Structure 1
Amino acid sequence: MKKNVAIIMGGFSSEHDISIKSAGVVYKHLDAEKYNPYRIHINKDAWYYLDEKKIEHHINKNDFSIVINDEKIKFDVVFNAIHGTPGEDGILQSYFELLDIPHTSCDSYQAALTFNKRDLLSTLKPYGIKSATSYFLNLGDTIDCLAIVEKVGLPCFVKANRAGSSFGISKVYEEKELESAIAKAFKEDDEIIIESFLDGTEVSVGVITYKGEITVLPITEIVTENDFFDYEAKYEGKSQEITPARITIEKQNQISKIAHNIYSILKLKGFTRSEFIFKGDEPYLLEVNTTPGLTEESILPQQAQIFGISLPQLFENAIEEALKNNT
């Protein structure tokens, strides 16, 4: 019997439109002989399924169901394609866990932890995972630009603590630029992180659970035409994403082991993509994404295909792993 799959998309953040694209690719590649896929819009004002006639069928949040032609449809599994809140920060994970509906992303605690850059890096530090020197600010804190520069140096990066796709990020070269960069970051989140600049090779490492085993995918090297890997570089062709990365076998083995360890230490599930910068021979962790982009052009699907996993196989595996974990 075919499984009903809710592909959730949209969300409440600046990554809304990117999520819609990811969900469209998942929908396109799911095996119609095995699954009944429904693209479910999750927006602040409404949750609904939009059918082929453009009719909205609103979600009953009591049990995450819809009614079509007087028939109640419940979902066997949720495919999470929401980048940012509430799909990447643990909110929807908690909701589905309460309803006992399996989903393709990690559990609620892990989602909340990885979405919070400060907490993630602090949690991994005792395990020897290196990261840039950082300075934290909350909205309303006194901004001491001199203290910031003294701690992290220049240039530095100002980032929203809980945001993705490089929204709210700035590279700052002079102290006088800090306040405007901080104001930009606070538009995305009421917590920000200011990090020292790491000059080196940036790499992205996909780690997934595939056929029951933690699997590290081929490593991607990021070469951007812009000053850093910003939104334009990620989504508007202003970068090269080279897979496999042009790094030594020793570095490949080193970074693969670290990415595997992070996945294990944090007890992650589903898709993850960790970002690092090599400073000399040492990799420094930038962040871990637990609902990375899933379009044909996105990094993790590219890595999977080079590994020998097609998009239909990648998405079917995610669903089957979620169903298996819920039995």
Structure 2
Amino acid sequence: MKITKKIAIVMGGYSKESTISINSGNTIFNNLCRKKYDPYKVYISKDKWIVKTINNKEYPINKKDFSFFIKKKNFNFDCVFNIIHGTPGEDGILQSYFDLLKIPYTGCGFYHSSITFNKKYCSIFLKNFGINISKSFFININQNFCRKKIIDEIGLPLFVKPSKSGSSIGISKVTEEKNFESALKKAFLEDKEIIVESFLKGKEISVGIYSFNNKINVLPITEIISQNDFFDFESKYSGKSKEITPAILPINIKNKIIKISIKIYKLLNLNGMSRLDFIIVNDTPYFLEINTIPAFSKESIFPKQLKKAGISLSDFFHNLINSCLLYNEK
């Protein structure tokens, strides 16, 4: 009799992206092959860590070994499918925890997650390797700075972003100097470090990339056309954007983007799946950010790219888990 692997689909989290994460987790749960896997929904919040069964019964997770007790039996997981967007699943915190417990998990490790989740450090790191990024100014919450000097240096319009935040939460596009202060306050509500970034006028694209057993693959590129001022939270999850997959790009630009995406993926020493965002200005791609735990809700870009590539969610999730388990056997 073949024994199925017990998979913890870890979802939720401590950020405003928790609902999106739960939607993503449900997609994974519904598409995992039951002949190979025995999946469990694990909800993580600031209040509790629980396993929720099909009949909505809740069982607490024992944080000492990430197990749970049901019907007089203790259950341990063979692998964690981490689909938490934001903290603590995307910033390295849970990765450190699972490393200590020696439990395999999908995606990159704690160090790489910490770097990629922090837009400030990720941008500084990649700039040193010749990756184009927009002109930026970094501000800490207790730092003294001259607002007029920043605006004069960056120019208008500009963006104000939390350094550690996803789904465009806390981001503002500032077109007039009088709105700069409110944009700063909004960003500082999400993070103690923020980025003031120059506006780049061009074509916004998103690149899905993944690796199984050290082979890197790039999915069909998506062009994003937002109905709002920029690709904000509403555009991403309320259908207020047009997405073209594959993006209509000259072959030389397409090849350049693929080459840069693979370079970034290798520089950051990533594994599993990621999604990179760029703005193309005069045929030059400028890196915006990377998402190492892409969403899998109905509106999400990554699953649409998989579909266009002819890859089923079931096959993709299987290969992701299998690659993770093989990596941890080495």
TM over 0.5: same fold?
yes
Quote the offset at 1:141 in angstroms.
2.0
Q: Secondary structure at the match of 1:98?
A: helix
Specify the alignment match of 1:7 in structure 2.
9
- Give me the TM-score of the superposition, normalised by structure 2: 0.97
Q: CA deviation at 1:281?
A: 1.0
1:29-54, Cα deviation, whole Å (9 max, x unpaired): 00011111001001011100012332
Q: Secondary structure at the match of 1:4?
A: strand
What is the correspondence of 1:159-238 to structure 2 with a 5 Å cutoff? 159-210=161-212, 212-238=214-240
1:265 corresponding residue in structure 2 = 267
SS at match of 2:128: helix
State the distance in 2 between where 1:208 and 1:295 align. Answer: 18
Match of 1:61 in 2: 63
Q: Deviation per CA, 1:229-248: give whole Å up to 9, x if none.
A: 00111000000111011111
1:40 alignment counterpart: 42
Pick from 138, 141, 144 the counterpart of residue 142 of structure 1: 144
Residues 1:252 and 2:249 aligned together: no
Give the match for residue 50 of structure 1. 52
Q: Secondary structure at the match of 1:288?
A: strand
% of aligned pairs identical? 50
SS in 2 for 1:7: strand
When residues 187 and 231 of structure 1 are mapped into structure 2, their CA distance, relative to the original with a 3 A threshold, is same
SS at match of 1:147: helix
Q: Distance in 2 between matches of 1:296 and 1:308?
A: 17
- Residue type matched to 1:277 in 2? I
Deviations 1:139-162 (A, max 9, x none): 122342101112211000000100
Q: What amino acid is the match of 1:294?
A: F
1:46-67 C-alpha deviation (Å, 9 max, x unpaired): 1000123322111111110001
- Contact 2:7-2:38 at 8 Å conserved across structures: yes
Task: After TM superposition, give the deviation of residue 212 of structure 1 in Å.
Answer: 4.2
Residue in 1 that maps onto 2:100: 98
CA RMSD, Structure 1 to Structure 2 (Å): 1.0
In structure 2, distance between residues paired with 1:297 and 1:236 = 8
Contact 1:212 1:321 in 2 (8 A): no
Does structure 1 conserve the Cα–Cα contact (< 8 Å) formed by 2:239 and 2:299?
no
Q: Deviations over 1:170-200 (max 9, x none)?
A: 0001111111000000111111001000000
Aligned match of 1:126: 128
Gaps of 5+ in 2: none
Equivalent positions of 1:294-309 (< 5 A) are: 294-309=296-311
Aligned to 1:28: 30
User: Take 2:145 and 2:71, find their aligned partners in 1: how far apart are those partners?
Assistant: 57
Report if the CA contact (8 A) 1:145-1:175 is conserved. no
Superimposed CA distance per residue, residues 191-210 of structure 1 (whole angstroms, 9 cap, x where no aligned partner): 10010000000000011013
Q: Distance in 2 between matches of 1:268 and 1:12?
A: 24
Of the structure 1 ranges 285-294 and 140-149, higher mean CA displacement relative to structure 2 is found in 140-149
Report if aligned partners of 2:278, 2:286 keep a CA contact under 8 Å in 1. Answer: yes
Deviation larger for 53-62 or 17-26 = 53-62
State the secondary structure of the residue aligned to 1:255: helix
- How far apart are the structure 1 equivalents of 2:243 and 2:110? 30
Q: How does 1:305-316 map to 2 (within 5 A)?
A: 305-316=307-318
For 1:318, the equivalent position in structure 2 comes to: 320
CA distance in 1, matches of 2:147, 2:177: 6
TM-score normalised by the chain length of structure 1: 0.98
